């Protein structure tokens, strides 16, 4: 039995921030209904990996959901929306405020249908400021947060290929939804939960902002090297790359012993983390020299024996074959129509001992559950046929 069994969620989310939030709720037992345009949401078709056109991120972010297609701008569609809202606990959406109002998904409109409804919305910049009407994807949060200014090559800032602001917003939005559910269980009151890409990105880069405000400095971009410690970098070995990150005096001394350079203990250039960072080129060069001619396995074995935090640079294929990933069950392979083989979906990224999340079903085909859902809210087979004929569903 899932911890959220009996909780109903209407999901108007697209791409990542809102859909991944609702996917986590679905993992925990919530009945999540994805409402899409008749031609499908744009996010369904990005990064296509199946013969039907569904994309990899869509398959990840929409497992455990049902799909209803609906033109909610029509009177008939608006009535279906009203009936769905009336029986739902949570509505999740990521669209501009004007679009929310036009679809009857703004908080006041939802409350008029169900007073204790919880609305969870994700936007690029948050509501109430001069940027609120702008649209933006993950990259906007990254580049506006100060993080990309600090990462990359000295002559080239580089944003991360992983949509960290999007997935981070999904996580913060999920936390907010669970807080709102708890509050409602105590008071009977719903509320509006807001998440946004920019504050999520600011959360991730906050230490840089604090450093700038208090010390008045911006450290230079240094590729894969550490932002405040050394040695810290990706080091090339004969068959790939290895990451090492050294922080604190005990760890530094173990590293010195490993590479046979105990005299560095008393070198004033390396007295503490700040000093080691300032002289990081020396330490990183020493580590690269030590790695020269060694295999990845040799380097990692030695670093593990010295109790130093290191990891291999894995290719996607190596991740799929990783024995720890396999033993822990982090990826669950789920069949999907039109996929050449079962899809490796990340399991719920947190584990509860009594009520763990589960992947119970694949992502839905477009409109796969339209008839089923409409029947649940009282529509007869003949009415559903008329709605389809009229282009409402």
- Please write the tens of the pLDDT for every residue from 150-182: 999 999 999 999 999 999 999 999 999 999 999
User: With contact defined as beta carbons under 8 Å apart, do 140 and 197 qualify?
Assistant: yes
pLDDT in tens, 267-318: 999 999 999 999 999 999 999 999 999 999 999 999 999 999 999 999 999 9
Q: Which pLDDT does position 203 carry in this prediction?
A: 98
Which part of the chain is CATH 3.40.50.10540?
Answer: 8-204+327-390
Q: Which pLDDT does position 97 carry in this prediction?
A: 78
HEC profile for the chain?
CCCCCCCEEEEECCCCHHHHHHHHHHHCCCEEEEEECCCCCHHHHCCECCCCCCEHHHHHHCCCEEEEECCCCCHHHHHHHHHHHHCCCEEEECCCHHHHHHCCCCHHHHHHHCCCCEEEEEECCCCCCCCCCCCCCHHHHHHHCCHHHHCEECCEECCCCCCHHHHHHHHHHHHHHHHHHHHHHHHCCCCEEEEEHHHHHHHHHHHHHHHHHHHCCCCCCCCCCCCCCCCEEEEEECCEEEEEECCCHHHHHHHHHHHCCHHHHHCHHHCCHHHHHHCHHHHHHHHHHHHCCCCHHHHHHHHHHCCCCEEECCCHHHHHCCHHHHHHCCEEEECCCCCCCCEEEECCCCCCCCCCCCCCCCCCCCCCCHHHHHHHCCCCHHHHHHHHHCCCC
CA 153 to chain centre: 25
Q: What is the CATH T-level fold of the domain 232-315, as seen in this structure?
A: formyl-coa transferase, domain 3 (3.30.1540)
Q: Which pLDDT does position 101 carry in this prediction?
A: 85
Q: Phi, psi at residue 155, to the nearest 5°?
A: -100, 0
- Any residues with CB less than 8 A from the CB of 112 and at least 6 apart, and which? none
Architecture (CATH level 2) of domain 8-204+327-390: 3-Layer(aba) Sandwich (3.40)
Distance CA 153, CA 173 (A): 33
Q: Which pLDDT does position 144 carry in this prediction?
A: 97
Distance CA 227, CA 106 (A): 42
Which part of the chain is CATH 3.30.1540.10?
Answer: 232-315
CA atoms within 13 A on the CB side of 77: 20
Q: Which pLDDT does position 74 carry in this prediction?
A: 92
Q: Which pLDDT does position 99 carry in this prediction?
A: 80
Which member of 43, 166, 233, 273 is catalytic? 166
Helix axes 164-187, 17-27, angle to 10 degrees: 50
Q: Which pLDDT does position 100 carry in this prediction?
A: 85
Count of CB atoms situated within 10 Å of the CB of 352 = 11
Q: Which pLDDT does position 300 carry in this prediction?
A: 98
Closest CA to 164 of 201, 205, 206, 125: 201
Distance CA 50, CA 339 (A): 5
Kindly give the parts of the chain with pLDDT less than 50. none
Backbone dihedral region for residue 106 (phi beyond 0: left; psi -120 to 50: alpha; all else: beta) = beta
166 is catalytic: yes
Distance CA 2, CA 87 (A): 19
User: With contact defined as beta carbons under 8 Å apart, do 281 and 275 qualify?
Assistant: no
């Amino acid at each position: 039995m899932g911890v959220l069994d009996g909780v109903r969620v209407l999901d108007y989310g697209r791409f990542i921030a809102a859909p991944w939030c609702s996917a986590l709720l679905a993992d925990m037992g919530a009945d999540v209904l994805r409402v899409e345009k008749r031609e499908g949401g744009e996010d369904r078709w990005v990064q296509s990996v199946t013969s039907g056109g569904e994309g990899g991120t869509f398959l990840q972010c929409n497992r455990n959901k049902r799909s209803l297609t609906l033109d909610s701008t029509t009177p008939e569609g608006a009535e279906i929306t009203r009936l769905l809202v009336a029986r739902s606990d949570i509505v999740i959406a990521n669209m501009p405020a004007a679009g929310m109002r036009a679809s009857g998904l703004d908080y006041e409109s939802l409350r008029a249908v169900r007073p204790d409804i919880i609305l969870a919305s994700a936007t690029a910049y948050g509501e109430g400021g001069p940027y609120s009407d702008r649209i933006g994807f993950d990259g906007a949060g990254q580049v506006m947060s100060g993080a990309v200014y600090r990462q990359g090559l000295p002559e080239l800032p580089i944003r991360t290929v992983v949509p960290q602001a999007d997935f981070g917003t999904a996580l913060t939005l999920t936390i907010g939804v669970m807080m709102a559910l708890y509050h409602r269980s105590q008071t009977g009151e719903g509320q509006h939960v807001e998440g946004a890409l920019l504050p999520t990105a600011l959360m991730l880069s906050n230490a840089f902002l604090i450093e700038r405000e208090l010390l008045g400095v911006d450290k230079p971009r240094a590729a894969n090297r550490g932002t405040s410690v050394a040695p810290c970098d990706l080091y090339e070995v004969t068959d790939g790359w290895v990451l090492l990150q050294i922080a604190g005096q005990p760890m530094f001394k173990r590293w010195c012993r490993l590479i046979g350079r105990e005299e560095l203990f008393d070198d004033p250039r390396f007295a503490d983390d700040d000093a080691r960072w300032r002289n990081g080129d020396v330490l990183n060069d020493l580590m690269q020299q030590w790695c020269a001619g060694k295999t990845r396995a040799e380097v990692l074995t030695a670093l593990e024996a010295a109790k130093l935090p290191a990891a291999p640079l894995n290719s996607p294929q190596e991740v799929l074959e990783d024995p720890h990933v396999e033993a822990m069950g982090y990826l669950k392979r789920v069949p999907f129509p039109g996929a050449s083989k079962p899809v490796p979906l990340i399991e719920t990224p947190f584990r509860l001992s009594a009520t763990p999340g589960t992947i119970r079903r694949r992502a839905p085909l477009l409109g796969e559950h339209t008839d089923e859902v409409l029947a649940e809210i009282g529509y007869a087979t003949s009415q559903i046929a008329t709605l389809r004929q009229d282009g409402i569903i």
